[in-house]
Amino acid sequence: MLGKEKSLPEETARKISNMILNEKRFKPGDRIPSEYELAHELGVSRLTVREAVKTLIANNILYIKRGVGTFVSNENKDSVNPYGIYFTKSKKEHIKDSFETRRIIEPEIVMLAAERATEEDIADMLKCAENCKECLLNGGSIDDTDREFHISLAKASHNAILYRLMTTVDYEIEDSRQALYIKGNKSFDDGVLVDHFEVVKFIKESDGVGASIVMRHHLNRALEYLKNK
């Protein structure tokens, strides 16, 4: 599925950075576990851990002391995740920033999708929307299927940078999506499903303005819902 296209080293880097930045298991200056220990805990190879650590070093989350080990960076600046996106210090502010970013990007993405989507793209978007609906009807959380839907829109824009941006900021969006769906709210979830199918309808009709309006409303409503929780 589209939402699961991260490489194994990328996903491993995300998990390690989560240990540091969200779970706070390791503080600035702390030595992280060895490659062997991380590989065992995360169920991946040592080579995968090594590649993940390289990514985190490149983004100033980790640094190496030769002959000693790998440590959490103690630089006095905002940390970044494995994909170069800045973390905010407050989770509430972090979620707000995520939605503000989406409100800038996604209405433009669906405008392009309305111009460029192929029949295959539209079928993929509909399938993702149906997966959300099926998951909700079965009493499950739609956070994963919602992610797949939004990334399918980015793919349909046929803009490689926007698609890559959406797949990489997926890490940032994860916190906001979990905040939305962790407890579930039937009226809110039903509204999400309606919005999904409306966006696809406008894209299929090549109505970029309509798709953009629905997407902006979709994201604004989600942000208001979070503010009132």
Taking CA 14 as the corner, what is the angle to CA 91 and CA 138, rounded to the nearest 5 degrees? Answer: 75
Residue that has been written with the tokens 């970013």 in this structure? 101
Task: Kindly give the confidence (pLDDT) of every residue in the chain, 229 residues in length, as a single tens digit, with 9 standing for 90 and above.
Answer: 333 445 788 889 889 988 988 788 998 999 999 999 999 999 999 999 999 998 888 777 899 988 889 999 875 344 444 444 544 445 666 677 778 888 899 999 999 999 999 999 999 999 999 998 998 888 777 777 888 899 999 999 999 889 878 876 665 556 556 656 555 566 667 788 899 999 999 999 999 999 999 999 999 888 887 777 6
Chain CA centroid to CA 124, Å: 19
Q: State both tokens at 90.
A: 């407050």
Q: Return the closest-CA partner of residue 112 out of 65, 73, 165.
A: 165
pTM of model > 0.85: no
C-beta neighbour count of 225 within 10 angstroms: 16
Question: For residue 114, which amino acid is it?
Answer: A
pLDDT attached to residue 170 = 61
